């Protein structure tokens, strides 16, 4: 009964967001590219209704791509490329690891990984020869948003995505702060490359710590970073792109950036007022969730637990 109730609440919440974002996007579709897709779309993007999403996935691991094909029934526009992406077209090896999420073109850096428990998940069980291509070689036009999770190879993917990055409003990218893989680029390199492409570092969406043992606080090893362009720097801006910018900003709870877009695009006065009302409504809803989180954290601190309770995102 509890599981049924949770599912009912979750479905109702998801339906609300799908209808809400559809009321802004109308018939327009966000072109979302998911690089290193693995199993399913990231939960946040489930809030966009399938009629408002053109979902393009890249996954070089054939076993993972097989699972992704099962999700096709949930989308109207759904394309899978079983291809690895990089800086150039070249033949490389994909290191398939024991763990589902650790496979990479780069080799694991066991000198670092072995300092932590469960390092066995990085063990290479198979090597597969693959051909990498650049994202730009697929000639996908009018890209709106890119998500990259290439297990240490993200910098190389960016280098082969010049045209796509010119079109994109923003991207969510996995970044590392320590060498999980040999010869990989770290957050500083990725941040510098994206700033050069007119992106702003906006936020860390998550940060993951690894503990050497249960008595330590842990080391921050990797996380997901959000980058968005200033509205004024969006290429070929029109009403459709402006509505997409507003939607993506709201999807990531960046209300200030959504407001700036409304302010700087020449919407009709009536439409501007309507969109601003929607932004304020969602901001109030988000504030209530933050308040509940603060209360939950305050209760936990009464019991002297030195950590935040992340119940609401």
Residue at 297 is within a domain? no
Residue at 266 is within a domain? no
How far apart are the C-alpha atoms of 298 and 301, rounded to whole Å?
5
The pLDDT of residue 298: 63
pLDDT beneath 70, residues of the chain: 39, 214-216, 288-313
Residue from 171, 209, 210, 207 nearest 191 by CA: 171
Residue at 177 is within a domain? yes
Q: 226 with 205: CB under 8 angstroms?
A: yes
Bridge partners of 35, per DSSP, are: 58, 148
Ramachandran quadrant class, 82 (left: phi over 0; alpha: psi -120 to 50; beta: rest): beta
Residue at 88 is within a domain? no
* Long-range contacts (CB closer than 8 Å, 24 or more residues apart) made by 255-262: 255/279, 255/282, 255/283, 255/286, 257/202, 257/228, 257/231, 260/230, 260/231, 261/231
Residue at 40 is within a domain? yes
The pLDDT of residue 212: 87
pLDDT digits (tens, 9 = 90+) for 86-142: 999 999 999 999 987 899 999 999 999 999 998 999 999 999 999 999 999 999 999
How far apart are the C-alpha atoms of 172 and 148, rounded to whole Å?
6
pLDDT digits (tens, 9 = 90+) for 257-277: 999 999 999 999 999 999 999
Residue at 260 is within a domain? no
**For residue 313, how many other CB atoms are within 10 A of its CB?**
11
Residue 224 DSSP SS3: strand
Q: Measure the N-to-C terminal CA separation of the chain; round to a whole number of Å.
A: 25
The pLDDT of residue 303: 58
Spacing of C-alpha 149 from chain mean position: 8
Residue 233 phi, psi dihedral angles, 5° rounding:
-100, 5
How far apart are the C-alpha atoms of 134 and 282, rounded to whole Å?
38
Residue 199 phi, psi dihedral angles, 5° rounding:
-90, 150
Query: Considering the entire predicted model, what is its pTM?
Result: 0.88
Contact partners, residue 311, CB within 8 Å, separation at least 6: 292, 293, 296
Domain enclosing residue 173, as ranges? 14-83+141-229
The pLDDT of residue 64: 84
Residue from 68, 97, 101 nearest 83 by CA: 68
Q: How many structural domains does the chain have?
A: 1
Q: 237 with 227: CB under 8 angstroms?
A: no
Strand order in the sheet with 199-210: 77-81, 53-58, 30-35, 145-148, 170-176, 219-229, 199-210
Burial class (CB in 10 A: 0-12, 13-18, 19+), 5: exposed
The pLDDT of residue 297: 59
Instruction: Look up the CATH number of the domain holding residue 63.
Output: 3.40.50.150
Its sign, for the CA torsion 26, 24, 249, 272, is positive
Residue at 100 is within a domain? no
Residue 264 phi, psi dihedral angles, 5° rounding:
-95, -10
Residue at 103 is within a domain? no
Q: Which helix (H) or strand (E) holds 54?
A: strand 53-58
């Amino acid at each position: 009964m509890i599981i049924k109730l949770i599912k009912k609440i979750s479905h109702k919440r998801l339906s609300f967001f799908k209808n809400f974002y559809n009321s802004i996007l109308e018939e327009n579709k966000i072109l979302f590219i998911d690089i290193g897709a693995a199993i399913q779309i990231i939960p946040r993007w489930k809030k966009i209704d399938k009629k408002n999403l053109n979902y393009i996935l890249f996954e070089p691991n054939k076993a993972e791509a097989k699972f992704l094909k099962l999700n096709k029934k949930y989308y109207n526009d759904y394309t899978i490329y079983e291809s690895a992406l990089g800086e150039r077209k070249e033949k490389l090896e994909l290191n398939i690891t024991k763990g589902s999420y650790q496979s990479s073109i780069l080799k694991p850096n066991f000198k670092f990984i072995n300092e932590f428990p469960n390092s066995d998940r990085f063990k290479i069980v198979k090597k597969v020869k693959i051909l990498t291509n650049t994202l730009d070689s697929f000639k996908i036009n009018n890209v709106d948003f890119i998500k990259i999770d290439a297990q240490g190879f993200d910098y190389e993917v960016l280098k082969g995505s010049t045209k796509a990055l010119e079109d994109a409003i923003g991207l969510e990218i996995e970044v590392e702060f320590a060498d999980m893989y040999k010869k990989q680029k770290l957050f500083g390199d990725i941040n510098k490359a994206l700033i050069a492409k007119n992106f702003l570092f906006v936020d860390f969406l998550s940060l993951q710590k690894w503990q050497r043992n249960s008595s330590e606080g842990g080391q921050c090893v990797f996380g997901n970073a959000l980058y968005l362009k200033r509205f004024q720097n969006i290429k070929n801006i029109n009403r459709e792109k402006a509505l997409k910018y507003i939607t993506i900003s709201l999807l990531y709870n960046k209300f200030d950036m959504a407001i700036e877009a409304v302010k700087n695009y020449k919407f009709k006065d009536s439409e501007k007022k309507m969109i601003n009302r929607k932004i304020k409504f969602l901001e109030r809803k988000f504030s209530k969730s933050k308040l509940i989180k603060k209360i939950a954290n305050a209760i936990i601190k009464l019991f002297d637990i030195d950590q935040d309770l992340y119940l609401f995102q």
